[in-house]
């Protein structure tokens, strides 16, 4: 009650100040609690987790950089001054293919990201960043894939098949720029046990593929050659 009386006796400016201190303290405490409580980390993520990533903790992907803040600061300044050859990252390291590989590593992949480091994929690297998982699976977007539907054109526009298994030859689909149809038959990473369609009419529609990309059910089935590992 004393506190209430004290507040009542305050000037208008004093009350405003006290309110600011109060709210500042509450917001600050909430921030501290959020940082400490691993389960609340999603509150300060920059967007919703992608499909299948809801149970991941921030540190599963955002790995801490080596060393203390001071070591990192020293190394950074030394790098700027040309006193060391390798730059360092503050706080948390940039998320790279290695973090994705920890759960999604496959012995067989029809489009493994490392393959795109070969010089001849320069155009696809420049346009799509295909050498990085995150270019097509941009995290915190709440979807499965952000791959543009014309992506296949960068490497397959000159495709000529000596033996074409499809009823409508591939080159005709390419001539029509029908790039949205590719994923109707071909699973990009070829990680599902299934038979690829040989009739265009049996291909999954672009709408079904779009729904899958957005996080919907897989038209390719659920029998995966290399199932995703659970994050530790």
Partner 1 sequence: MALIPSLKLSKSVWWAGILLVVGIYLFAQRPMPLVDGESAGRTIPVEKMFRIIAAENDAARGMYTKDIVGAGMKTGLEFSEKWREADVAAGPLPALFLREAATSIQKSRVPLGLFLGSDFPIAQSNNFVSTQAERFKMMRVSPKPQFFYAPDTKLQAAMFADFAVAPGCVTCHNEHPKSPKIDWKLGDMMGATTWSYPKDKVTLDEMVQIIAAYRGGVVDAYEAYLAKAAKFSKPPEVGDRWPKDGYFLPSKDVFVKEFERRASGNTINMLLQANRPPKLPG
| Contact footprint for partner 1 (CB under 8 A) | 66-68, 70-75, 77-78, 84-86, 88, 101, 105, 107-109, 112, 114-115, 117-120, 122, 125-126, 131, 155-156, 158-163
To partner 1, the closest distance from the beta carbon of 198 in angstroms equals 16
d(CA 208, CA 183): 10
Q: Minimum Å distance from CB 31 to partner 1?
A: 25
Cβ proximity to partner 1: between 32 and 126 the closer is 126
Q: What is the CA radius of gyration of the chain?
A: 26
In the complex, minimum distance from the CB of residue 13 to partner 1, in angstroms, rounded to a whole number: 20
Q: How far is the CB of 109 from partner 1 (least distance, A)?
A: 8
Residue nearer to partner 1 on the CB measure, 95 or 211: 95
The nearer residue to partner 1, 8 or 162, going by C-beta atoms, is 162
Q: Which is nearer to partner 1, 4 or 119 (CB)?
A: 119
Q: Which one, 47 or 67, has the nearer CB to partner 1?
A: 67
Q: In the numeric block, which tokens belong to residue 3?
A: 């506190």
Q: From the CB of 159, what's the least distance to partner 1, in Å?
A: 6
From the CB of residue 196, how many other CB atoms can be counted at a distance below 10 Å? 13
Tokens of 197: 């369609």
Nearest-angstrom CA–CA distance, 182 and 148: 12
Contact 62, 139 (CB under 8 A): no
Kindly give the residue spans of alpha helices, DSSP state H, lying in 44-110. Answer: 58-61, 69-80, 97-104
Residue 131 near residue 96, CB atoms below 8 Å: no
């Amino acid at each position: 009650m004393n506190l209430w009386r004290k507040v009542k006796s305050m000037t208008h400016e004093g009350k405003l100040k006290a309110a600011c201190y109060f709210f500042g303290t509450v917001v600050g405490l909430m921030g501290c609690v959020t940082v400490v409580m691993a389960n609340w980390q999603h509150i300060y993520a920059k967007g919703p987790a992608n499909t299948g990533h809801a149970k991941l903790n921030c540190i599963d992907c955002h790995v801490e950089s080596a060393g203390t803040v001071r070591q990192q600061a020293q190394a950074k300044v030394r790098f700027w001054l040309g006193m060391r050859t390798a730059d360092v990252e503050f706080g948390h390291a940039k998320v790279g293919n290695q973090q994705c590989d920890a759960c999604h590593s496959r012995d067989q992949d029809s489009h493994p990201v490392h393959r795109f480091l070969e010089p001849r994929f320069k155009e696809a690297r420049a346009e799509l960043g295909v050498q990085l998982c995150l270019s097509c699976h941009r995290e915190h977007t709440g979807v499965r894939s952000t791959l543009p539907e014309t992506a296949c054109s960068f490497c397959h526009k000159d495709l000529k098949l000596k033996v074409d298994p499809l009823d409508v030859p591939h080159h005709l689909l390419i001539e029509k720029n029908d790039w949205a149809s590719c994923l109707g038959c071909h699973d990009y990473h070829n990680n599902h046990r299934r038979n690829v369609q040989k009739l265009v009419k049996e291909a999954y529609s672009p709408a079904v593929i779009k729904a899958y990309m957005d996080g919907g059910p897989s038209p390719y089935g659920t029998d995966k050659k290399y199932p995703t590992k659970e994050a530790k």
